[in-house]
Amino acid sequence: MRKILSSLLIGHLIGLSALVLPAAAQDGPLRIEITEGVIEPLPYAVPDFVATGSGGTEIAQQLTRVIASDLSGTGLFREVSADAHIGRITDFNAPVQYADWKAVNAQALITGAVQVTGNRLTVQFRVYDVFSGAELGNGLQFAGTTAGWRRMAHKVADAVYSRITGEGGYFDSRVVYVSESGPKNDRRKRLAIMDYDGANVQYLTDSSAIVLAPRFSPTGDRVLYTSYETGFPQVHVLDVGKVKQRIISSEDGVMSFAPRFAPDGKTVVYSQTQGGNTDIYTMDINGRNQRQLTNAPSIETAPSYSPDGSQIVFESDRSGTQQLYVMSANGGEAKRISFGQGRYGTPVWSPRGDLIAFTKQSKGRFHIGVMRTDGSEERLLTASFLDEGPTWSPNGRVIMFTRETQGANGRALLYSVDITGRNLRPVRTPDGGSDPAWSPLQK
Amino acid sequence: MSMTLPKKLMMIGAILAVSACTNANGWGDDDGVGSGQTGATAPGLVTDQTSPAYFQQAIGDRVVFAVDQSTLSDEAQSILAAQAQWLGSNPDYTATIEGHADEQGTREYNLALGARRAAAAREYLISRGVAGNRLKTVSYGKERPLEVCSEEACYSKNRRAVTVLTTDLTG
């Protein structure tokens, strides 16, 4: 899809409004500070985009609903429903009657126009700061095909989110995960990929072999995962576009698992087990140049690179229990960073580089948490019978993870939560789901 | 992806109904002769001391572990000693030892823990005279629980190392 700056451009992005946000009670521009944990979401209105062209009305309605679902789904925004609207937007270019939107307490107004010509789709939109009576940022236009209408909706929502929060968006992204079906003692697992909101699910493998923990490449076009296809867990790589996979660690009878890409997209860090002992290794994406980074009789696994590629965070039970450690990307001495009560595993470095997400086990409960990269400011975001395996949204503001329920009928589902611990919500998948991995923002 | 069996391994008595059952779950990873991961019954008569059924049911094909441990209890050692003796008298068989964990743990850690358990059982069998090249190990972590409740009664059975007999027809 091509992104075109339209002729609508008028003025610059920031500093146009003087709205007061109820939760943060800030003076100054229409702005949400995500890190402060927004309690009162910002009310907005998004009337159906104005349609022109055959089939435009239906697409315009669906597209508007996806935008609203993206924004409200963050927990930072609350939609003023169409039933309550006084104003009607029938002409995208006509001046906005701010009083109509003030009266229904919509602090932000999003208007748009959808034009369909054959299979070509053009979407224009504008964001208004209602209480200061001014447009927020510039009008923008996206052009593509009608088949890609959901992605265009996500792009509009990303732009709106970005303008109001000052952060990058995350809606135009995908999630690869393990789709689970069948009873607990005969669980079928297969790789699946979907939009971040659960739409457009596509299966990447069948369920003839156990598959675990898929991870995206930095560009989102490849997925590393562990498969039992040979009878032993081994690292595989899959080309998402071609749905074509191959094994990259094929030493007979040697287990390798927990792979992740380095930020260079060429190096793979993973765990390998020799004689019952698990250590961390790297290799290139073709399985060559294998290097051992840790050499200890303890369990070293779940490695994850810092975004600059210079460091690796991993878990080890060298102290007697599972804890988190950071070492140079070349191996060598590791520094322990987790010191709270309980066990820590599955560390994942935030794409912003500021935080490490992890799974914590304490007093028979599981938590998803975040801490700074030196281990300070630990914060637990969730608690349940079994939460594990966090993955970061592309903007480092939301975490998706696996939640498994208790007992004989227990099943795994995907959930997301923001880094302040708010807005915990299930991610809809056709079957059960586990081991999610969030893609980078799509280009 | 097609169903694949580990190289050169073949299930014994594939024509027996029990083996068909073993395979009916559709999993591509080999179940060997009476699988630890599915709890299927091994072929042969339990009264026949040379049969996999005897190995599985009379001797006992599995040992269990304490929470987050891979040390072998006295009971586990005596079961493994009997397994070693049986493997000594039945040289046509090889074995894959499957290590498993209960669900109280993260996925990667449990894979590594299961590998430790399988290796502990393998080392013990070797110490009792079984040649190392007859014994493979694999870990399933928490992926293949036998018992499904979320209580210690089930967890204690799921923390296991199962010796699954195989035969290498090409020698």
Tens of pLDDT, residues A354-381: 999 999 999 999 999 999 999 999 999 9
E strand map for A101-221: 108-117, 120-129, 134-135, 140-145, 174-181, 188-195, 202-203, 211-216
CB within 8 Å: B26 and A208? yes
Question: Same domain for A34 and A63?
Answer: yes
**CB proximity A292 to B under 8 Å:** no
pLDDT recorded at residue A251: 78
Least confident segment among A15-29, A284-298, A330-344, B111-125: A15-29
CB within 8 Å: A271 and B108? yes
Tens of pLDDT, residues A256-294: 999 999 999 999 999 999 999 999 999 999 999 999 999
* Burial of residue B133, with CB atoms counted within 10 A of its CB: 0-12 exposed, 13-18 middle, 19 or more buried: exposed
A interface mutation test: which of B4, B30, B106, B138 has the most A CBs within 10 A?
A: B106
Q: Is residue B16 part of a domain?
A: yes
Nearest residue of A to residue B3, measured between CA atoms: A208
**CB proximity A319 to B under 8 Å:** no
Distance to chain B for A36, nearest Cα, Å: 30
Q: Is residue A170 part of a domain?
A: no
Question: Same domain for A130 and A221?
Answer: no
CB pairs under 8 A between A and B: 136
Mean pLDDT of B35-42: 69
Largest interatomic CA distance in chain A: 73
User: Cα–Cα distance between A304 and A307 in angstroms, integer?
Assistant: 9
Contact A245, A236 (CB under 8 A): yes
Nearest residue of B to residue A272, measured between CA atoms: B112
Distance to chain A for B54, nearest Cα, Å: 25
Question: Same domain for A88 and A139?
Answer: yes
Residue among B1, B9, B120 minimizing CB distance to A208: B1
User: Cα–Cα distance between A440 and A385 in angstroms, integer?
Assistant: 30
ipTM score assigned to the predicted complex? 0.90
Mean pLDDT of B80-87: 98
pLDDT recorded at residue A295: 97
pLDDT recorded at residue A13: 28
Of A114, A146, A165, which marks where a domain is finished? A165
Question: Same domain for A308 and A415?
Answer: yes
Question: Same domain for A345 and A212?
Answer: yes
Asked if pLDDT for residue A144 goes beyond 80, the answer is yes
Residue among A188, A230, A233 minimizing CB distance to B4: A230
Residue ranges making up the domain that contains B127? 9-168
Which residues of B fall within a CB distance of 8 Å from A255? 111, 115, 138-139
Distance to chain A for B49, nearest Cα, Å: 29
Q: Is residue B2 part of a domain?
A: no
Residue ranges making up the domain that contains A96? 2-165
Count up the domains in chain B and report the number: 1
Q: Which of A53-62, A212-221, B22-31 has the highest mean pLDDT?
A: A212-221
Question: Same domain for A155 and A185?
Answer: no
Of A145, A165, A185, which marks where a domain is finished? A165
Question: Same domain for A187 and A122?
Answer: no
Let me know how many helices (H) and strands (E) chain A has, helices first: 3, 32
A interface mutation test: which of B21, B108, B127, B150 has the most A CBs within 10 A?
A: B108
Residue among B27, B39, B103 minimizing CB distance to A208: B27
Distance to chain A for B48, nearest Cα, Å: 29
Which residues of A fall within a CB distance of 8 Å from B122? 276
Question: Same domain for A111 and A192?
Answer: no
Question: Same domain for A180 and A143?
Answer: no
Mean pLDDT of B6-11: 36
Average pLDDT, chain B: 82
pLDDT recorded at residue A34: 62
Contact A134, A16 (CB under 8 A): yes
CB within 8 Å: B115 and A208? no
Least confident segment among A15-29, A239-253, A393-407: A15-29
What phi-psi label fits residue A330: left (phi over 0), alpha (psi between -120 and 50 degrees) or beta?
A: alpha
Greater confidence (A378 vs B34) lies with A378
Of A146, A165, A184, which marks where a domain is finished? A165
pLDDT recorded at residue A127: 97
CATH number, domain at A47?
3.40.50.10070
Amino acid (one-letter) located at A179: S
Question: How many degrees, rounded to 5, is the angle at CA A432 between CA A428 and CA A437?
Answer: 70
CATH number, domain at B132?
3.30.1330.60
Question: Same domain for A123 and A209?
Answer: no
E strand map for A40-173: 42-45, 50-52, 77-79, 108-117, 120-129, 134-135, 140-145
Count up the domains in chain A and report the number: 2
Q: Is residue B70 part of a domain?
A: yes
Q: Is residue B4 part of a domain?
A: no
pLDDT recorded at residue B41: 83
Structure tokens at A184: 């607990």
pLDDT recorded at residue A257: 97
User: Cα–Cα distance between B119 and B125 in angstroms, integer?
Assistant: 10
